[in-house]
């Protein structure tokens, strides 16, 4: 299985993604992360891939316990020259997600039957979400929406997660591998 895992990692690098192997026991899941979604996020209740529409922290913790390893995926970009950073970030997020989803499909084909991607940021495949997702094949939730503390994960790999710095924008996803 390690050979298949290496195929997935190699593909990640080809797609321009940084990939770090994690043991799932080292992935911190915390209620306080979800708190930030519910109180203060301008998009709360607007995207079907985020609270209150997705599973809670406890349910996700149980699911995570059924996996042993995961790949932390990072796409980094310097957007300091962009005139409209929010628009550029939206495009960047979608593009990064598609690359990460390609990896999930590859992992499945390599025998990781339960491979599952936690996407970078809230879904933005459509301008707005309607009552029911109209592109269910793209329906994935982000790590922070189920309580994963990305700041602490980044610390574990020796990196710092800085917010609101256009010169160092990161899209972060997690691919559960089993
Ligand atoms: S695919 Fe469209 S409808 Fe579905 S969650 Fe994403 S933005 Fe919303």
Q: Whose CA is nearest to atom 4 of ligand 1?
A: 133
pLDDT digits (tens, 9 = 90+) for 53-89: 999 999 999 999 999 999 999 999 888 888 888 888 8
* Ligand 1 pocket member 35 (CB < 6 A): no
Dist. CA 12–CA 25, nearest whole Å: 22
Is the pLDDT at 104 greater than 80? The verdict is: yes
Q: How much of the chain, in percent, has pLDDT values that exceed 90?
A: 80
Full-model pTM? 0.95
Which residues in 119-140 are b (16+ Cβ under 10 Å) and which e?
bbbbbbeeeebeeebeeeebeb
97 with 119: CB under 8 angstroms? yes
Distance 51 CA to ligand 1 centre (A): 14
Domain parsing of the chain, residue ranges: 2-177
pLDDT digits (tens, 9 = 90+) for 130-163: 999 999 999 999 999 999 999 999 999 998 887 8
* Ligand 1 pocket member 54 (CB < 6 A): no
Distance 37 CA to ligand 1 centre (A): 18
Phi, psi of 158 (to 5 degrees): 80, 25
13 with 19: CB under 8 angstroms? yes
Dist. CA 5–CA 49, nearest whole Å: 27
171 with 92: CB under 8 angstroms? yes
* Ligand 1 pocket member 101 (CB < 6 A): no
What ligand 1 atom has the least distance to the C-alpha of 130?
3
Dist. CA 148–CA 10, nearest whole Å: 25
Dist. CA 97–CA 9, nearest whole Å: 16
**DSSP assigned state of 163:** S
What ligand 1 atom has the least distance to the C-alpha of 135?
1
* Ligand 1 pocket member 48 (CB < 6 A): yes
Is the pLDDT at 1 greater than 70? The verdict is: no
* Ligand 1 pocket member 129 (CB < 6 A): yes
């Amino acid at each position: 299985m390690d050979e298949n895992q290496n195929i997935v990692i190699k593909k990640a690098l080809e797609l321009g993604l940084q990939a770090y192997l994690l043991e799932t026991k080292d992935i911190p899941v915390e209620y306080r992360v979800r708190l930030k979604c519910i109180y203060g996020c301008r998009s709360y209740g607007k995207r079907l891939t985020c609270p209150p529409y997705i599973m809670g922290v406890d349910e996700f913790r149980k699911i995570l316990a059924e996996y042993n390893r995961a790949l932390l995926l990072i796409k980094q970009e310097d957007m300091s020259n962009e005139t409209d950073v929010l628009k550029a970030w939206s495009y960047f997020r979608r593009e990064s997600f598609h690359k990460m989803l390609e990896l999930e499909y590859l992992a499945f084909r390599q025998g990781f039957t339960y491979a599952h991607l936690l996407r970078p940021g809230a879904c933005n495949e459509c301008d707005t979400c309607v009552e029911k997702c109209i592109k269910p094949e793209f329906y994935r939730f982000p790590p922070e929406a189920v309580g994963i503390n990305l700041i602490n994960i980044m610390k574990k790999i020796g990196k710092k997660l800085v917010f609101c710095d256009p010169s160092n924008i990161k899209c972060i996803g997690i691919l559960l591998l089993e």
